[in-house]
């Protein structure tokens, strides 16, 4: 039997960030991760960091490589109805975003925690939280066929939508809200130069498209597709042809194609679980909420959760007030719902929905035209995209 102050279930970026916050405050934690480290590092995820996330990583001493290799974007491009506009974040709200892949953030956090000697248990199976409403919770797990128990003061569930943490909250307590979207994103990663120095969001009669990047020779592209599609239906040539059709003409002309090094289809959903706390168990990140990637909020929301949760845990572990923990769920959920609203708005605005008909399309076009003409509408989008305050 082992004892630590906080058991963190899940070794993705949320769990790693929380462990770093606790470590810098002088508090021990143990991370239990179901997968191997190589598996975690191979996951391809978001690459747009809100400015609050950038500043948070810097404050934790894990921003040096991000500042050296990341790309600051002062705006994004949006195309529709044969037009292209630019939303100038810097001019509108005085802040920007950083393009730096989630995989790279994860590498930086792993390196910092390894240097600090924080315990990370990979390939931990059958992870189960116990006595979460008592004063002495504990977590059991198996590793290499041997059962283990860790006693602790608190448990942080950072194990994602399919993890065990949320299921530990009784159905009589947990409320779940969900919207499933009737399409997916087909995404590819290619070792080619990005088509533009900033992201391009495209609304097109054939469906949505997005041009993104990871660095100067690694591009990430997406097209809206049917949930019934199979990866085998989308050889590289078909993907590039479809992407060209949906992009503005000048961008399509500049597009450099090449073999895909990763290709996947992701469904889109909005999901929120309430509350994010039950007893001494706290949910953070995808364990408590999912947003469609259109608004680039998933990783950023996980980190804002950890910001609120770490403050509460540190205050409690230092022997001070438990107010931060008592208020964690309500405070975090206020920001979560704002991000859910923005991600829903971006998704609804930019995609083709199979059941809206011509009326729905014309409403989208009117909304996009309003965005193009209205500085206040652009400011609202910019404010949400670069990130609301933590």
Q: Which residues are known to be catalytic?
A: 73, 201, 293, 297, 385
3-state secondary structure of 104: helix
Written as six digits, the tokens of 196 are: 């533009």
Eight-state DSSP code of residue 25: T
What's the Cα-to-Cα distance from 111 to each of 158, 332, 368, rounded to whole Å?
19, 28, 43
What backbone phi and psi angles, to 5 degrees, belong to 248?
Answer: -60, 150
Strands (E), 118-254: 119-121, 125-130, 138-143, 146-151, 154-157, 175-190, 200-202, 209-215, 218-225
Eight-state DSSP code of residue 285: G
What residues does 72 pair with on adjacent strands?
98
Strand order in the sheet with 2-3: 2-3, 146-151, 138-143, 125-130
In angstroms, how far apart are the furthest CA atoms of the chain?
65
Count helices and strands (H / E) in the chain. 12, 21
Q: What angle do CA 203, 389, 17 make, to 5 degrees?
A: 95
Quick check: 289 and 345 in contact, CB under 8 A?
A: no
Written as six digits, the tokens of 98 are: 């950083």
Question: Which residues contact residue 115 at a Cβ distance below 8 angstroms, ignoring those fewer than 6 apart?
Answer: none
Written as six digits, the tokens of 107 are: 């590498």
What backbone phi and psi angles, to 5 degrees, belong to 205?
Answer: -60, -25
3-state secondary structure of 57: helix
Rounded (10°) CA dihedral 18, 122, 167, 287: 40
What residues does 212 pair with on adjacent strands?
220
Bridging pattern class, strands 200-202 and 75-80: parallel
Specify the residue for token string 């019934």: 228
């Amino acid at each position: 039997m082992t004892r630590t102050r906080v058991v963190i279930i899940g070794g993705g970026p949320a769990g790693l960030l929380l462990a770093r916050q606790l470590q810098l405050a002088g508090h021990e934690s143990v991370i239990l991760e179901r997968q191997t480290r190589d598996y975690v590092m191979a996951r391809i995820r978001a690459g747009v960091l809100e400015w609050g996330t950038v500043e948070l990583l810097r404050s934790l001493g894990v921003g040096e490589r991000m500042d050296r290799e990341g790309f600051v974007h002062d705006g994004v491009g949006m195309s529709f109805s044969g037009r292209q506009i630019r939303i100038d974040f810097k001019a509108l709200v005085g802040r920007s975003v950083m393009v730096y892949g989630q995989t790279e953030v994860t590498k930086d956090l792993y390196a910092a925690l390894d240097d600090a000697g924080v315990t990370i248990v990979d390939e931990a199976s059958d992870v189960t939280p116990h006595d979460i409403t008592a004063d002495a919770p504990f977590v059991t797990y198996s590793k290499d066929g041997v059962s283990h128990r860790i006693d602790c003061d608190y448990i942080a569930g950072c194990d994602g939508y399919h993890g065990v943490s949320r299921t530990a909250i009784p159905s009589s307590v947990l409320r779940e809200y969900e919207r499933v979207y009737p399409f997916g994103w087909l995404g590819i990663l290619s070792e080619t130069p990005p088509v533009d120095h900033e992201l391009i969001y495209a609304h097109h009669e054939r469906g949505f498209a997005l041009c993104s990047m990871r660095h100067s020779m690694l591009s990430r592209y997406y097209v809206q597709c049917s949930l019934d599609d199979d990866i085998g239906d989308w050889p590289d040539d078909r993907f590039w042809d479809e992407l060209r059709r949906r992009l503005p003409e000048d961008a399509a002309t500049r597009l450099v194609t090449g073999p895909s090094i990763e290709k996947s289809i992701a469904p889109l959903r909005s999901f929120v679980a309430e509350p994010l706390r039950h007893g001494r168990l706290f949910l953070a990140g995808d364990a408590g909420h999912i947003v469609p990637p259109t608004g680039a909020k998933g990783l950023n929301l996980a980190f804002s959760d950890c910001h609120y949760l770490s403050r509460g845990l540190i205050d409690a572990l230092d022997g001070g007030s438990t107010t931060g923990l008592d208020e964690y769920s309500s405070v975090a959920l206020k920001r979560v719902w704002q991000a859910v609203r923005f991600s829903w708005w971006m998704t609804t605005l930019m995609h083709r929905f199979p059941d809206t008909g011509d009326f729905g399309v014309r409403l989208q076009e009117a909304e996009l035209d309003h965005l193009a003409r209205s500085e206040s509408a652009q400011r609202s989008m910019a404010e949400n995209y670069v990130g609301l305050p933590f």
